[in-house]
Structure 1
Amino acid sequence: MTNESPIVRISNLRLERGGRTVLSDINLEVPRGRIVAVLGPSGSGKSTLLAALTGELAPAAGTVEVLGQSVPQRRRDLLELRKGIGVLLQGNGLLTDLTAAENVALPLRAHTRLPDAVIRQLVLMKLHAVGLRAAADAFPRELSGGMARRVALARALALDPPLMIYDEPLTGLDPIASGVVMDLMRRLNDTLGLTSIVVTHHVHETLPVADQAIVIANGRIVFSGTPSQLESSQDPLVHQFLKGEPDGPIAFDAAPRAPEAA
């Protein structure tokens, strides 16, 4: 695999949940070093696409390649692949009875046999990268929402994954904390040589840091291009989503959603 090859390649993908097609005819390549924003209304299938990238959901048709290989079905192979994927969940997922440092150390303790002293230094490096080294011994309840999100980001970076996936990273954050998280995402992507996929409906906060944007609506990709191309698009689907208009080609909540088709 060359450095020029895409870190993610999706071809003719169809995804189903509960016997219902959520996404179809999905084709996408994510070049290395980019931040790609995956945008769309609630229920459009953004999180379903993430489930395919991490191997949680097997394709009904088509292929998904991540880090140069098809996403495996065997659990052992899948766990090995996931070491190269950092995931920041919208709910943070921090364990409340552990300190910030102990939370960040979890992946290192689970997947390496490094001595405690080395793990401690690595944890402090990750917390420093997100501007929270001084909060190493604080518990999640002592952190603001933005700080907790950054601790979760440090934990996602613990194993130095080449690919980062952010699932609605701004949920529950105020505008200032949102700006801090997005700026940090861009800076880490550039300084650490990461590739990032950001699934979000926070369009205006995300586009300034993104290199590429795709919009999912009505079960398919309706736009793929640069943020500036997106903002100048005259496509009715794209226009309705960007403007937040209730009437248009996207039928909001017109039918019951399959579980986890967010």
Structure 2
Amino acid sequence: MSLEQTPAVHLDALRLVRGGRTILREVDLRVPRGSITAVLGPSGSGKSTLLAALTGELVPAAGKVELFGQPVPRSSRALLEMRKGVGVLLQGNGLLTDLTVGENVALPLRAHTRLPAALIERLVAFKLNAVGLRTAADLYPRELSGGMARRVALARALALDPPLMIYDEPLTGLDPIASGVIMSLIQRLNHSLGMTSIIVSHHVHETLPVCDQALVIANGALVFSGTPAQLQASDDPLVQQFLHGRPDGPIAFDTAATRRTEAA
């Protein structure tokens, strides 16, 4: 398999366990380079657990995780090096309130490179310009709207030019207009910068239009993998319940309670 054909992410027979309980089982997945993949599913279905495996935070109980043809390392030093190539946009943004917008974006560059201050300043301006916030460099996080803060966090995640971007519920707490801006920005940046993106979300209708591939996780497994069009045309009861928000169906509403009952 050539370098271009090697998937950005390859999961094979993956099983993930937390606290002695299996969260996901037998997950097989290929994420093509340059694509945008949506990982969808109800709250508590294991989406964040899957992200923890991709970043090396959680060691699989079985199966393998590969990024760009290389297994996710176990040693701390190798894992730190690998993470430089994975940008993560967190749900809560994670901006440091005592630093300006520019200083927040500069953090990864100062921590992981030895670039001169003048070059870092130029790179920060470039990243902020990419998300439409070049004039906001001297503002503090408390002076930003929710959508602006999310874009600053995105600029910081892009600081080291990662080939893989992971978005963990990027639309949480945003109004419809800000959500549209963020999704459009994700799509534009992915294509213009030649990245691969994985979007973890339960916002189906906002996420699908920008994606090449859609996955649905429910009841501890990957229940669907295909294009957005195939997802919307699926007659699978699990998929239908999730897409249309039906309270009754094969996906239990209170998954935590259901698991406790099953464990008992």
- TM-score with structure 2 setting the length: 0.96
Q: Is the 8 A contact 1:15 1:59 kept in 2?
A: yes
The Cα offsets for residues 162-209 of structure 1, whole Å up to 9 and x where unpaired, read as: 000000000000000000000000000000001000000000000000
**1:217–1:250 contact (8 Å) kept in structure 2:** yes
Amino acid aligned to 1:152? A
Give the residue type in structure 2 aligned to 1:127: L
1:152 equivalent in alignment to 2:153: yes
How far off is 1:254 after superposition? 4.2
Q: Gaps (5+ residues) in structure 2?
A: 260-264
Deviation at 1:257, TM superposition (A): 8.4
Pair 1:135–1:61, CA change in 2 (3 A): same
What amino acid maps onto 1:28 in structure 2? Answer: L
Q: Does 1:106 align with 2:107?
A: yes
Counterpart for residue 222 of structure 1: 223
CA distance in 1, matches of 2:258, 2:104: 34
Unaligned runs of 5+ in 1: none
Amino acid at match of 1:161: P
Considering Cα pairs closer than 8 Å and 6+ residues apart, tell me whether 1 or 2 has the greater RCO: 1
Contact 1:14 1:60 in 2 (8 A): yes
Letter in 2 for 1:78: L
Match of 1:94 in 2: 95
- 8 A Cα contact 2:6 2:68, kept in partner: no
Q: Is the 8 A contact 2:131 2:152 kept in 1?
A: yes
Q: Residue 256 of structure 2: SS of its match in structure 1?
A: coil
Q: Output aligned runs, 1:127-206, within 5 Å.
A: 127-206=128-207
- For 2:155 and 2:196, locate their aligned partners in 1 and report how far apart those are by CA, in whole Å: 16
| Residue in structure 2 matched with residue 66 of structure 1 by the alignment | 67
In structure 2, what is the equivalent of residue 77 of structure 1? 78
Identity of aligned residues (%): 74
| Deviation at residue 212 of structure 1 after TM alignment | 0.4
Cα displacement (A) at 1:66 = 1.0
Is the 2:234–2:240 Cα contact (8 Å) retained in structure 1?
Answer: yes
Alignment correspondent of 2:232: 231
1:126-168, Cα deviation, whole Å (9 max, x unpaired): 0000000010110000010000000000000000000000000
Question: In the alignment, which residue of structure 2 is the partner of 1:250?
Answer: 251
Query: Structure 1 residue 29: deviation in Å?
Result: 0.3
Contact 2:252–2:258 at 8 Å: present in 1 too? no
- Does structure 2 retain, via aligned residues, the 8 Å contact 1:25–1:220? yes
Distance 1:228 1:139, change over 3 A: same
2:189 partner SS: helix
Cα drift, residue 256 of structure 1: 4.0
* Deviation, structure 1 residue 68: 1.9
Determine whether 1:116 maps to 2:117: yes
Contact kept? 2:9, 2:68, Cα under 8 Å? yes
RMSD of aligned residue pairs (Cα, Å): 1.0
| Aligned length, in residue pairs | 258
